[in-house]
A and B are shown apart, each in its own frame.
Chain A
């Protein structure tokens, strides 16, 4: 079929380009902020190191003092912050977009709660070391996600049902965690509480490496579904009519996002509300209709790095990053519930 190109085509090109340019600029600004937060994490601390010292350490030079502090402590911490934040943001918005509901974030529908329950069992009952706890948390979130999906998928898939089942499962996992904590010895309790808060304190290359590897595989997998995800926002029927393999896309997205979130949670703990907040914040910044995958990942990384800096240096006492994000996230959840009630809106 061929058409005569009407004069409106030029106007459409201009309109789309303007929206596209705005999104690109905002995404670049976000990336710049992430870079700035990353650099600050490397430079700021008990001892301040200038940018040139930090760069020399990164390039592999030996710098007295800085090589250990920056290379072994701050660099893994900042890397974990970026990777975990990006994973939480990307995984979170994938769920929220696919299920067309900002409440469908993995930390609301029980996936990270499942990881927490498993981790606490690992610490308190099984006496596992850090690596063991990470693996158990990984298994916990994947098992929880699988359970929720299977329960929700009976007699056809419905996102409202998945969210409600997820909230129920989250409550169940929460009570498992509470029960295990009541049985914990004092020293285990402290380790468990620290894990539950979500923290970059224990960051080492050993904890960063699995997440980095997982990201290399899983992030492109999620991003590749971006266009299908855009079609899925119009409803399953429209998407199918446009030639999207709805079930394949959905299962791919769920598997990749859950695995990504699971690896992030295993490495950094369930940093509260990042997966939940990153998507809507990115949506607010970029305006409607855009693909939010990449921007939400950047917002996630920025949230974690910034909250970690705040937690470390803004107060007399040092707080784990999850305490700070939790303090921002909880009121936001209430705000969103109130707003959603009025508009019935998606993100």
Chain B
């Protein structure tokens, strides 16, 4: 991609009421790469993603998109560059898959204007890319959890943004569907060059799929870099307060975390 869009946080402080969650955090997200944000529950990783997606405004500091302050730009224009899949989107009862995916075209449509050829092409491409083209006329209610997540990702794809933010896209999915969704996101990243930034719970999946790992502890970036460099037993202890050993993944050579517990200690 020639002029890739850049997204960064510049000393952002984020708070709910008087509870500060993220403090003076700065982060440049690598364009055209897959970045996973990991951390313990309540460390502020989802809050950070929400700020990057302009869902909450920073107390201080700024989120910058292509060098300009995100909050100062028209939100509809931003929505053509920056897509978001939040944690628990709601599907209207009985809505058809193609119609739901079509909602992703909102930022490209004008008031009252009908669907254009571009809209249809984008929805069709999104359905194809996520492998659900044959479900287009089915009702979203009838689908399994894994299929439904594909529909939501398709909606985000139909938005045709070069940056895609996802908040725990694998939650509530069984392990096969988790792999499925992450493979799909990798496909997108490779074929379209989409910059992917996601919050992930599972450190091993994050280490396997991410090009860049951001480990957040208490609202600060604790470590940042390629999983091979970042994921160590020490990091896991700092981030999750968990003892473990880290071995090379026999499949990929990337780090694989083997947690120990009170009953299973590795010496």
A→B interface (CB under 8 Å): 1, 3-6, 8-9, 11-13, 15-16, 19, 100, 155, 224, 227, 230-231, 233-235, 237-238, 240-245, 287-289, 343, 345-347
Of the listed stretches B26-34, B88-96, B175-183, name the one at the interface; the rest are far from the partner chain.
Answer: B88-96
Assuming the A-B contacts A155-B17, A227-B111, are A11 and B136 also in contact, with contact meaning beta carbons closer than 8 angstroms in the complex?
yes
Choice from B96, B100, B115, B122 contacting A15 with Cβ under 8 Å: B96
A30-B93 Cα distance, complex, nearest whole Å? 23
A118-B192 Cα distance, complex, nearest whole Å? 61
A242-B123 Cα distance, complex, nearest whole Å? 15
Choice from A224, A231, A241, A346 contacting B86 with Cβ under 8 Å: A241
Assuming the A-B contacts A5-B121, A237-B86, A243-B79, are A289 and B100 also in contact, with contact meaning beta carbons closer than 8 angstroms in the complex?
yes
Q: Are B75 and A227 in contact (CB under 8 A)?
A: no
Of the listed stretches B102-110, B202-210, B223-231, B240-248, name the one at the interface; the rest are far from the partner chain.
Answer: B102-110
Known: A234-B91, A238-B86, A343-B93. 11 other contacts (CB 8 A): A5-B124, A8-B124, A16-B98, A16-B102, A227-B111, A231-B103, A235-B88, A244-B76, A287-B94, A288-B92, A346-B93
Q: Are B107 and A243 in contact (CB under 8 A)?
A: yes
Choice from A4, A155, A233 contacting B92 with Cβ under 8 Å: A233
Shortest CB-to-CB span from B126 to chain A, Å, is 9
Q: Are A12 and B77 in contact (CB under 8 A)?
A: no
Majority DSSP secondary structure for residues of A touching B: loop
Q: Are B128 and A241 in contact (CB under 8 A)?
A: no
A289-B50 Cα distance, complex, nearest whole Å? 27
A237-B128 Cα distance, complex, nearest whole Å? 25
Shortest CB-to-CB span from A339 to chain B, Å, is 11
Q: Are B89 and A234 in contact (CB under 8 A)?
A: yes
Choice from B92, B99, B121 contacting A19 with Cβ under 8 Å: B99
A166-B91 Cα distance, complex, nearest whole Å? 25
Q: Are B54 and A240 in contact (CB under 8 A)?
A: yes
Assuming the A-B contacts A12-B124, A100-B90, are A242 and B96 also in contact, with contact meaning beta carbons closer than 8 angstroms in the complex?
no
Assuming the A-B contacts A19-B96, A19-B99, A242-B159, are A234 and B90 also in contact, with contact meaning beta carbons closer than 8 angstroms in the complex?
yes
A171-B154 Cα distance, complex, nearest whole Å? 45
Assuming the A-B contacts A15-B137, A288-B92, are A6 and B124 also in contact, with contact meaning beta carbons closer than 8 angstroms in the complex?
yes
Residue of B nearest to A17 (CB): B115
Q: Are A8 and B95 in contact (CB under 8 A)?
A: no
A133-B103 Cα distance, complex, nearest whole Å? 44
Q: Are B94 and A289 in contact (CB under 8 A)?
A: yes
- Whether B53 sits at the interface, judged by CB under 8 Å, is yes
Choice from A1, A16, A19, A235 contacting B160 with Cβ under 8 Å: A1
Q: Which residues of the other chain, B, contact A9 by a CB distance below 8 angstroms?
A: 120-121, 123-124
Residue of A nearest to B126 (CB): A3
A100-B93 Cα distance, complex, nearest whole Å? 10
Taking CB atoms and an 8 Å cut-off, the chain B residues in 45-88 that contact chain A are 50, 53-55, 74-80, 82-88
Shortest CB-to-CB span from B19 to chain A, Å, is 12
Nearest 7 interchain pairs by C-beta: A243-B79, A288-B94, A241-B84, A243-B76, A9-B124, A237-B86, A289-B95
B121-139 interface bits toward A, Cβ cutoff 8 Å, 1 = contact, 0 = none:
1111101100001001101
Q: Which residues of the other chain, B, contact A13 by a CB distance below 8 angstroms?
A: 120
Q: Which residues of the other chain, A, contact B137 by a CB distance below 8 angstroms?
A: 15
Q: Which residues of the other chain, A, contact B212 by a CB distance below 8 angstroms?
A: none
Shortest CB-to-CB span from B18 to chain A, Å, is 11
Residue of B nearest to A224 (CB): B111
A288-B95 Cα distance, complex, nearest whole Å? 5
A242-B124 Cα distance, complex, nearest whole Å? 18
- Whether B162 sits at the interface, judged by CB under 8 Å, is yes
Q: Which residues of the other chain, A, contact B109 by a CB distance below 8 angstroms?
A: 227
Can you name 14 A-B residue pairings with CB atoms under 8 Å? A6-B128, A9-B124, A11-B133, A12-B120, A227-B112, A234-B92, A234-B100, A237-B53, A237-B86, A238-B89, A241-B84, A242-B106, A288-B95, A289-B100
Assuming the A-B contacts A230-B103, A233-B92, are A8 and B121 also in contact, with contact meaning beta carbons closer than 8 angstroms in the complex?
no
Shortest CB-to-CB span from A59 to chain B, Å, is 33
Q: Which residues of the other chain, B, contact A8 by a CB distance below 8 angstroms?
A: 124, 127-128, 133, 136
Residue of A nearest to B76 (CB): A243
Shortest CB-to-CB span from A143 to chain B, Å, is 28
Shortest CB-to-CB span from B133 to chain A, Å, is 4
Shortest CB-to-CB span from B49 to chain A, Å, is 11
Q: Which residues of the other chain, B, contact A238 by a CB distance below 8 angstroms?
A: 84-86, 89-90, 103
